[in-house]
């Protein structure tokens, strides 16, 4: 065994684990257990130093950080001796935006001799080819909205606050912030219902791809439909699509457009 999964909530860790010839060591963050995958051990921020030493002792050489983990708080009373020297880096990470925080975490693993590998590198087919995957096709207005969404995401990149937005009739109905895509979809204004709006999702400029590549799955499509949206548009090569066949079938069932967009191409 040479690979460990630093796992959070959701189905991505199980998808990555199932694709490996040798089962990886599954290290779940406390309170963020992955779906459909049993953890070999759990840890928290205050014990990360001990986890790193344990991984090296087992001969682990690569780690994949996958699944959702809420931004933690640091409890000094729970620090162990191996982790205490990392506190200055933790404080820098907790004070930074998403990209900045993840860059610090990536550096901590690499400083201990562990290669951080992205889920899409371990499971290349998580990244869907470009094109419209659903029976429903984007109309001219949706194409304009998708282009507007791409521009909004480019503009948000320097603010380091999110990877998604909702656009309808070229109006911005919401942008993703610390609550994530679920919160964005659950808090949209009522006016979105009649706008045939779309959820646009893609990586930020400077995205730490090995750790935080955007992901959608069936739950995303259900939430988009419940919010009254007409489609989900993701950037080709930049968003992982969990359960591709299930997503396509669900989009068709719900009458949603599911579009992996490359520039202005359909």
How crowded is residue 205: how many other Cβ atoms within 10 Å of its Cβ? 11
Fold of the domain spanning 3-122: Rossmann fold (3.40.50)
Which pLDDT score is estimated for 73? 81
Cite the residue boundaries of each domain of the chain with CATH code 3.40.140.80: 127-261
Which pLDDT score is estimated for 266? 45
d(Cα 203, Cα 236) in Å, to the nearest integer?
A: 10
Percent of the chain surpassing pLDDT 90? 68
Cite the residue boundaries of each domain of the chain with CATH code 3.40.50.20: 3-122
- Higher pLDDT among residues 99 and 8, named by residue: 8
For the stretch 13-31, pLDDT in tens is 999 999 999 999 999 999 9
Q: Which of 60-64, 79-83, 105-109, 207-211 has the highest mean pLDDT?
A: 60-64
- The architecture in CATH of the region 127-261 reads 3-Layer(aba) Sandwich (3.40)
How far is C-alpha 165 from the chain's CA centre? 14
């Amino acid at each position: 065994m040479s690979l460990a999964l630093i796992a959070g909530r959701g189905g991505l860790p199980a998808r990555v684990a199932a694709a490996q010839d040798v089962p990886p060591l599954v290290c779940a963050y406390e309170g963020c257990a992955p779906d459909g995958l049993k953890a070999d051990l759990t840890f928290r921020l205050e014990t990360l130093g001990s986890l790193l030493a344990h991984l090296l002792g087992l001969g682990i050489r690569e780690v994949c950080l996958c699944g959702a983990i809420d931004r933690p708080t640091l409890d000094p009373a729970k620090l162990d001796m191996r982790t205490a020297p990392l506190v200055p880096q933790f404080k820098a990470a907790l004070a930074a935006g998403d990209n900045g925080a993840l860059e610090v975490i990536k550096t901590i693993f690499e400083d201990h001799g562990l290669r951080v590998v992205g889920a899409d590198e371990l499971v290349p087919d998580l990244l869907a080819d470009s094109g419209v995957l659903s029976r429903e096709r984007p109309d001219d207005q949706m194409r304009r909205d998708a282009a507007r969404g791409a521009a909004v995401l480019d503009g948000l990149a320097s603010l380091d606050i999110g990877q998604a937005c909702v656009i309808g009739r070229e109006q911005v109905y919401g942008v993703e912030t610390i609550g994530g895509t679920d919160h964005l979809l659950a808090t949209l204004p009522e006016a979105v219902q009649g706008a045939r709006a779309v959820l646009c999702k893609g990586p930020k400029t400077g995205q730490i791809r090995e750790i935080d590549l955007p992901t959608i799955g069936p739950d995303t499509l259900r939430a988009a439909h419940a919010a009254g949206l007409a489609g989900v548009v993701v950037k080709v090569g930049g968003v992982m699509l969990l359960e591709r066949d299930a997503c396509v079938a669900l989009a068709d069932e719900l009458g949603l457009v599911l579009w992996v967009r490359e520039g202005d191409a359909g």
